Amino acid sequence: MKLLIIDDEELIRLKLMHIVSHASLPLQVVETVSNVFEALHSFEKEIPAVILSDIRMPVKSGLDLAKYVYEHNLPSKVILITGFSDFEYAKAGIAYHVFDYLLKPVDEEDTVSVVRRALHEYMEEQKHHELYESFQNY
């Protein structure tokens, strides 16, 4: 499974990479990119199970990415990272089925907990999807 980290600040990308890489999570790939365009390019190789994305970035935001994931019916769990506690962001995130939010500065325990829950939900949905496919083929 793949986890994708999107943030325009390199230090935050590195910190998040360090946190998830040392958390014994069931991930095969942890990739970091600096903007939404790079993230979409990364989707061509593999759709990530979990996406950790800054909410405010130049040109395209984390909400733009969440909207893309939602509108394309991708199975990815989107976790937005923000330094702002603005209700409008939360409201937009709800519309695009954002899995959860993390507040900056990111806390290691909170990050691991949220990612672990997102991975669990992703795996459960994949199991249900596979069972449904098997049933349809039967």
Supply the pLDDT for residue 85: 65
The DSSP call for residue 68 is: H
Bridge partners (DSSP) listed for residue 102: 81
Convert the pLDDT of each residue in 98-114 to its tens digit.
999 998 889 999 999 99
- What would the mean pLDDT of 53-67 be, rounded to a whole number? 93
Q: Are 3 and 115 in contact (CB under 8 A)?
A: yes
Task: Check residue 43 and report its DSSP letter.
Answer: H
